[in-house]
Protein backbone atom coordinates (compact mmCIF):
# COMPACT_ATOMS: atom_id res chain seq x y z
CA UNK A 1 0.00 0.00 0.00
CA UNK A 2 1.41 3.44 -0.92
CA UNK A 3 2.61 5.45 2.05
CA UNK A 4 0.17 8.30 1.39
CA UNK A 5 -2.84 5.98 1.37
CA UNK A 6 -1.74 4.27 4.57
CA UNK A 7 -1.60 7.67 6.31
CA UNK A 8 -5.12 8.49 5.15
CA UNK A 9 -6.35 5.09 6.31
CA UNK A 10 -4.71 5.49 9.72
CA UNK A 11 -6.15 8.99 10.03
CA UNK A 12 -9.63 7.68 9.16
CA UNK A 13 -9.41 4.93 11.76
CA UNK A 14 -8.24 7.35 14.45
CA UNK A 15 -11.04 9.77 13.57
CA UNK A 16 -13.64 6.98 13.75
CA UNK A 17 -12.31 5.93 17.16
CA UNK A 18 -12.48 9.54 18.35
CA UNK A 19 -16.09 9.83 17.18
CA UNK A 20 -17.05 6.62 18.96
CA UNK A 21 -15.22 7.59 22.14
CA UNK A 22 -16.95 11.00 22.38
CA UNK A 23 -20.50 10.09 21.24
CA UNK A 24 -21.90 11.00 24.68
CA UNK A 25 -20.86 14.62 24.02
CA UNK A 26 -21.81 15.26 20.39
CA UNK A 27 -24.84 13.01 19.87
CA UNK A 28 -27.18 14.96 22.21
CA UNK A 29 -26.22 18.31 20.62
CA UNK A 30 -28.80 18.29 17.77
CA UNK A 31 -31.57 17.82 20.33
CA UNK A 32 -30.18 20.30 22.84
CA UNK A 33 -29.79 23.02 20.21
CA UNK A 34 -33.52 22.92 19.46
CA UNK A 35 -34.38 23.94 23.02
CA UNK A 36 -34.35 27.54 24.22
CA UNK A 37 -35.02 27.96 27.93
CA UNK A 38 -35.86 31.36 29.41
CA UNK A 39 -36.10 32.32 33.06
CA UNK A 40 -39.76 32.57 34.05
CA UNK A 41 -41.26 35.81 35.32
CA UNK A 42 -44.79 37.15 35.71
CA UNK A 43 -46.46 38.41 32.56
CA UNK A 44 -49.60 40.24 31.42
CA UNK A 45 -50.71 37.15 29.56
CA UNK A 46 -49.70 33.74 28.29
CA UNK A 47 -49.84 32.42 24.73
CA UNK A 48 -50.18 28.73 23.91
CA UNK A 49 -49.10 27.84 20.38
CA UNK A 50 -51.21 25.32 18.48
CA UNK A 51 -50.10 21.99 17.11
CA UNK A 52 -49.80 19.83 20.21
CA UNK A 53 -52.45 17.12 19.90
CA UNK A 54 -51.32 15.41 23.12
CA UNK A 55 -52.12 18.38 25.37
CA UNK A 56 -48.73 18.91 27.01
CA UNK A 57 -48.66 22.60 26.10
CA UNK A 58 -52.11 23.13 27.62
CA UNK A 59 -51.16 21.28 30.78
CA UNK A 60 -48.04 23.38 31.24
CA UNK A 61 -49.90 26.61 30.49
CA UNK A 62 -52.65 25.80 32.99
CA UNK A 63 -50.10 25.11 35.69
CA UNK A 64 -48.30 28.40 35.00
CA UNK A 65 -51.58 30.33 35.26
CA UNK A 66 -52.42 28.60 38.54
CA UNK A 67 -48.94 29.44 39.85
CA UNK A 68 -49.63 33.12 39.19
CA UNK A 69 -47.30 33.73 36.25
CA UNK A 70 -50.15 35.11 34.11
CA UNK A 71 -53.87 35.78 34.62
CA UNK A 72 -54.99 33.90 31.52
CA UNK A 73 -53.67 31.64 28.76
CA UNK A 74 -54.69 32.60 25.22
CA UNK A 75 -54.88 29.34 23.25
CA UNK A 76 -54.46 29.61 19.49
CA UNK A 77 -55.77 27.11 16.99
CA UNK A 78 -57.17 26.59 13.50
CA UNK A 79 -60.37 24.80 12.50
CA UNK A 80 -58.55 21.96 10.76
CA UNK A 81 -60.01 19.12 12.83
CA UNK A 82 -63.17 18.08 10.98
CA UNK A 83 -64.49 21.62 11.23
CA UNK A 84 -63.69 21.92 14.94
CA UNK A 85 -61.47 24.67 16.30
CA UNK A 86 -58.26 23.22 17.69
CA UNK A 87 -58.14 25.84 20.45
CA UNK A 88 -61.63 24.90 21.73
CA UNK A 89 -60.95 21.16 21.57
CA UNK A 90 -57.67 21.73 23.40
CA UNK A 91 -59.32 23.71 26.20
CA UNK A 92 -62.02 21.05 26.62
CA UNK A 93 -59.25 18.46 26.91
CA UNK A 94 -57.44 20.50 29.56
CA UNK A 95 -60.63 20.94 31.59
CA UNK A 96 -61.37 17.20 31.45
CA UNK A 97 -57.88 16.66 32.86
CA UNK A 98 -58.38 18.90 35.88
CA UNK A 99 -57.52 22.38 34.63
CA UNK A 100 -59.92 25.27 35.42
CA UNK A 101 -61.73 26.55 32.31
CA UNK A 102 -61.27 30.16 33.42
CA UNK A 103 -57.51 29.75 33.00
CA UNK A 104 -57.94 29.57 29.22
CA UNK A 105 -59.35 31.67 26.44
CA UNK A 106 -59.66 30.45 22.82
CA UNK A 107 -58.10 32.45 20.00
CA UNK A 108 -59.44 31.29 16.64
CA UNK A 109 -56.98 31.86 13.83
CA UNK A 110 -56.29 30.80 10.27
CA UNK A 111 -52.54 30.28 10.07
CA UNK A 112 -50.54 27.88 7.94
CA UNK A 113 -47.26 28.17 9.85
CA UNK A 114 -45.73 29.21 13.15
CA UNK A 115 -44.57 32.34 11.35
CA UNK A 116 -48.16 33.39 10.59
CA UNK A 117 -49.34 32.29 14.02
CA UNK A 118 -46.79 34.48 15.82
CA UNK A 119 -47.77 37.51 13.74
CA UNK A 120 -51.48 37.04 14.48
CA UNK A 121 -50.86 36.48 18.19
CA UNK A 122 -48.70 39.59 18.47
CA UNK A 123 -51.41 41.63 16.74
CA UNK A 124 -53.89 40.39 19.35
CA UNK A 125 -51.58 41.09 22.28
CA UNK A 126 -50.99 44.59 20.94
CA UNK A 127 -54.76 45.10 20.84
CA UNK A 128 -54.94 43.97 24.47
CA UNK A 129 -52.04 46.16 25.52
CA UNK A 130 -49.87 43.32 26.86
CA UNK A 131 -46.30 44.43 27.51
CA UNK A 132 -45.00 41.16 28.93
CA UNK A 133 -45.85 37.74 27.51
CA UNK A 134 -45.14 34.11 28.27
CA UNK A 135 -45.21 31.80 25.26
CA UNK A 136 -45.71 28.08 25.84
CA UNK A 137 -44.84 25.58 23.14
CA UNK A 138 -43.19 22.16 22.95
CA UNK A 139 -39.56 21.96 24.09
CA UNK A 140 -38.25 21.06 20.61
CA UNK A 141 -40.18 24.02 19.12
CA UNK A 142 -38.70 26.75 21.33
CA UNK A 143 -35.59 27.58 19.28
CA UNK A 144 -37.56 28.20 16.08
CA UNK A 145 -40.24 30.07 18.00
CA UNK A 146 -37.60 32.29 19.59
CA UNK A 147 -36.22 33.26 16.18
CA UNK A 148 -39.70 34.17 14.94
CA UNK A 149 -40.48 36.07 18.14
CA UNK A 150 -37.37 38.21 17.64
CA UNK A 151 -38.37 38.76 14.03
CA UNK A 152 -41.84 40.13 14.86
CA UNK A 153 -41.56 41.34 18.47
CA UNK A 154 -43.41 44.64 18.92
CA UNK A 155 -41.40 47.50 20.46
CA UNK A 156 -41.50 47.66 24.24
CA UNK A 157 -42.76 44.10 24.69
CA UNK A 158 -40.92 41.45 26.76
CA UNK A 159 -41.32 37.77 25.89
CA UNK A 160 -40.27 34.65 27.77
CA UNK A 161 -40.43 31.15 26.27
CA UNK A 162 -41.42 28.03 28.17
CA UNK A 163 -40.83 24.60 26.63
CA UNK A 164 -43.42 22.02 27.64
CA UNK A 165 -42.13 18.44 27.79
CA UNK A 166 -43.05 16.18 24.90
CA UNK A 167 -44.22 12.57 25.11
CA UNK A 168 -41.32 11.24 23.08
CA UNK A 169 -38.76 14.00 22.55
CA UNK A 170 -36.04 14.06 25.17
CA UNK A 171 -33.34 16.50 24.00
CA UNK A 172 -30.51 14.50 25.56
CA UNK A 173 -31.78 11.12 24.32
CA UNK A 174 -33.58 11.96 21.08
CA UNK A 175 -32.20 8.92 19.23
CA UNK A 176 -33.89 6.29 21.43
CA UNK A 177 -37.39 6.55 19.98
CA UNK A 178 -38.61 6.56 16.37
CA UNK A 179 -41.05 9.45 16.94
CA UNK A 180 -38.29 11.45 18.61
CA UNK A 181 -35.97 10.93 15.63
CA UNK A 182 -38.76 12.05 13.28
CA UNK A 183 -39.41 15.12 15.41
CA UNK A 184 -35.72 16.05 15.33
CA UNK A 185 -35.52 15.68 11.54
CA UNK A 186 -38.67 17.69 10.79
CA UNK A 187 -37.90 20.42 13.31
CA UNK A 188 -34.36 20.92 12.00
CA UNK A 189 -35.76 21.11 8.47
CA UNK A 190 -38.20 23.84 9.53
CA UNK A 191 -35.55 25.64 11.58
CA UNK A 192 -33.19 25.77 8.62
CA UNK A 193 -36.02 27.11 6.44
CA UNK A 194 -36.62 29.90 8.97
CA UNK A 195 -32.90 30.70 9.16
CA UNK A 196 -32.79 30.88 5.35
CA UNK A 197 -35.72 33.30 5.32
CA UNK A 198 -38.56 30.89 4.66
CA UNK A 199 -41.39 29.78 6.89
- Per DSSP, the three-state class of 112 is coil
Q: Is 127 exposed, middle or buried (0-12, 13-18, 19+ CB in 10 A)?
A: exposed
**pLDDT reported for residue 108:** 95
Q: Is residue 12 part of a domain?
A: no
- Give the pLDDT score at 11: 62
Q: Within a domain: residue 4?
A: no
Coil, strand or helix: which one is 13? helix
Is 190 among the domain residues? yes
Q: Is residue 2 part of a domain?
A: no
pTM of the model: 0.87
Residue 159 lies in a domain: yes
Into how many domains does the chain fold?
1
pLDDT digits (tens, 9 = 90+) for 151-186: 999 999 999 999 999 988 999 999 889 999 999 999
CATH code assigned at 117: 3.40.50.620
Given a cut of 60, whether residue 199 has pLDDT beyond it is: no
Supply the pLDDT for residue 197.
Answer: 78
Instruction: Provide the total of helices (H) and of strands (E) in the chain, helices listed first.
Output: 8, 5
**Residue 80: pLDDT band by 50, 70, 90 thresholds?**
confident
In a domain, 146, yes or no: yes
Helix pair 114-128, 142-152: axis angle to 10 deg: 50
Strand residues in the chain grouped as ranges (E): 45-48, 73-77, 104-108, 132-138, 158-164
13 in a structural domain: no
DSSP 153: P
Q: Average pLDDT for residues 96-104, to the nearest whole number?
A: 94
Predicted pLDDT of residue 37: 83
Amino acid sequence: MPRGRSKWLLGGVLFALLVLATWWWWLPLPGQLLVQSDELSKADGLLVLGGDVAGYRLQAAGELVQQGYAPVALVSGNNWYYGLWECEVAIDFAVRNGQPREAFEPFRIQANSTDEEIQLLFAETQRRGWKSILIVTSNYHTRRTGILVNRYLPPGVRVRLFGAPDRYFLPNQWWWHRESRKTLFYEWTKLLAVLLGGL
